[in-house]
């Protein structure tokens, strides 16, 4: 792969533009320097703290259980990747319905397993409301600042442009799996709630894994490698779960604040990504009814579980 090709994939030099854009190269170089400095600092100063945190979580059954649940939910992206290995074509209608159902499950889990317990904690009502708004706001900022595309790369895109989009989509999905793991970790105080949250997130991760695997396959990557990459995007969720359990423990009001923050983040994913994407794939009526029925059934199941 030539240097010019690499810069085009990274977006530094568009097809048809001679030479490199000096400003973009300077920004990229600055980003590499900052990233390198960050890695050096983390390696020298942060590694002992990270290791201590890992040991603490391993020694605390409730925290370890939450991380395990998050890992299981994250691994569900691998199921979506495996689906690519046996599918000859992708039915947008079926995929859209699945996304709507998963969105309904996430909505119910966000409200019943996270937000309601947060606001019912004594003295935490205002904190929970602010935290939920913060969670929604942070996801909004990430959505606006991180370059990504939701649809699978179409046949009209070719070469470096399709490759760039597929890679950005993979990175973006991996990044937004971190707050999903945070949601499971934040609800560790209620193991049934954590289980319900992990289940809903896991359901939502299956179509995400299929989308990632299909995007990578569309640029010529082998199906098995694409499926493995889809699994890898979900395995960052235990990291988010670890952050969630540590925040909830370190701060007396950390549990309701973390749960409400995670609820706001999940609400953004449902409202801004899943429902609009499902509508595009399968239509408004089917999406509304599928998501609505899923929300009600999940709410009943969570209430029965005592979440």
What pTM, to 2 d.p., does this model score?
Answer: 0.60
Percentage of residues of the chain with pLDDT beyond 70? 72
Percentage of residues of the chain with pLDDT beyond 90? 5
Residues 6+ away with beta carbon under 8 Å from 216: 166, 170, 225, 226, 229, 230
Reported as a single tens digit per residue, the pLDDT across 104-130 is 877 887 888 778 888 888 888 999 999
Query: Closest by alpha carbon to 238, among 102, 74, 7?
Result: 74
> Span 140-144, mean pLDDT?
77
CB 213, CB 230: distance < 8 Å: yes
Task: State how far the Cα of 208 lies from the Cα of 282, in Å rounded to an integer.
Answer: 16
Reported as a single tens digit per residue, the pLDDT across 259-274 is 788 788 878 878 887 7
Query: Closest by alpha carbon to 307, among 189, 214, 215, 131?
Result: 189
**Side-chain half-sphere of 188: how many Cα atoms within 13 Å?**
30
Task: State how far the Cα of 219 lies from the Cα of 113, in Å rounded to an integer.
Answer: 39
Q: 22 pLDDT exceeds 80?
A: no
Instruction: Identify the band that residue 161 occupies on the pLDDT scale cut at 50, 70 and 90.
Output: low
Reported as a single tens digit per residue, the pLDDT across 41-68 is 666 655 666 667 677 677 777 788 888 8
Query: pLDDT value at position 154?
Result: 45
> Span 296-302, mean pLDDT?
82
Instruction: Identify the band that residue 282 occupies on the pLDDT scale cut at 50, 70 and 90.
Output: confident
Categorise residue 225: left if φ over 0, alpha if ψ from -120 to 50, beta otherwise.
Answer: alpha
> 235 versus 166: which is more confidently predicted?
235
Burial class (CB in 10 A: 0-12, 13-18, 19+), 108: buried
> 121 versus 169: which is more confidently predicted?
121
Instruction: Identify the band that residue 6 occupies on the pLDDT scale cut at 50, 70 and 90.
Output: very low
Query: pLDDT value at position 9?
Result: 41
Query: pLDDT value at position 38?
Result: 67
The per-residue pLDDT of the chain, averaged, comes to 75
CB 182, CB 135: distance < 8 Å: no
CB 273, CB 150: distance < 8 Å: yes
Least confident of 153-162, 188-197, 226-235, 236-245: 153-162
Query: pLDDT value at position 67?
Result: 87
Burial class (CB in 10 A: 0-12, 13-18, 19+), 298: buried
Query: pLDDT value at position 289?
Result: 92
Instruction: Identify the band that residue 14 occupies on the pLDDT scale cut at 50, 70 and 90.
Output: very low
């Amino acid at each position: 792969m030539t240097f010019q090709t690499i810069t085009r994939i990274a977006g530094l030099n568009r097809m048809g533009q001679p030479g490199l854009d000096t400003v973009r190269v300077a920004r990229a170089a600055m980003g590499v320097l900052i990233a390198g400095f960050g890695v050096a600092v983390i390696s020298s100063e942060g590694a002992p703290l990270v290791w201590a945190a890992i040991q603490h979580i391993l020694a605390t059954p409730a925290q370890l259980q939450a991380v395990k649940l998050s890992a299981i939910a994250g691994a569900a992206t691998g199921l979506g990747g495996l689906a690519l290995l046996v599918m000859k074509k992708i039915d947008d209608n079926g995929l859209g319905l699945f996304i709507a159902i998963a969105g309904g499950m996430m909505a119910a889990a966000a409200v019943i397993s996270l937000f309601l317990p947060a606001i019912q904690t004594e003295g935490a009502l205002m904190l929970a409301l602010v935290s939920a708004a913060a969670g929604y706001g942070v996801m909004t900022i990430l959505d606006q600042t991180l370059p990504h595309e939701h649809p699978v790369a179409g046949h009209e895109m070719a070469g470096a442009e399709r490759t760039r989009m597929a890679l950005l989509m993979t990175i973006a999905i991996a990044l937004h799996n971190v707050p999903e793991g945070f949601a499971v970790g934040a609800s560790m105080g209620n193991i049934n709630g954590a289980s319900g949250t992990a289940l809903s997130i896991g359901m939502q991760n299956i179509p995400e894994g299929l989308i990632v695997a299909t995007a990578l396959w569309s640029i010529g990557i082998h199906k098995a490698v694409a499926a493995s990459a889809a699994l890898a995007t979900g395995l960052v969720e235990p990291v988010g779960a670890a952050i969630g359990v540590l925040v909830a423990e370190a701060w007396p009001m950390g549990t309701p604040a973390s749960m409400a923050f995670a609820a706001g983040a999940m609400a953004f994913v449902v409202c801004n990504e899943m429902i609009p994407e499902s509508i595009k794939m399968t239509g408004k009526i089917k999406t509304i009814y599928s998501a609505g029925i899923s929300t009600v059934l999940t709410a009943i199941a969570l209430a029965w579980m005592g979440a």
